[in-house]
Amino acid sequence: MITIPVVTTETPTGLLLTPSQPIPADAISIICDGEHYNVYQPGDTVPQE
Partner 1 sequence: MLRGSSYTGGGGGGIGLPASGVLKQSAVPASVTGTVSETTLATIAVPAGAMGLNGAIQIISRWTFNNTANNKTLRVKFAGTDFLGYSATNSATGEILTIIQNRGVANSQIGDRLAVSGALGTTTANWVTSAIDTTVSQNITLTATLANTGETITLESYQVQILNP
CB closer to partner 1, 3 vs 29: 29
SS3 per residue for the chain:
CEEEEEEEEEECCEEEEEECCCCCCCCCEEEECCCEEEEECCCCCCCCC
Closest contact distance (angstroms) between CB of 5 and partner 1 is: 13
Q: Minimum distance from CB of 4 to partner 1 (Å)?
A: 12
- Closest separation in Å from C-beta 3 to partner 1: 14
Distance CA 39, CA 37 (A): 6
Q: In the complex, which residues of this chain contact partner 1 (CB under 8 A)?
A: 6, 8, 11, 13-19, 27-35, 49
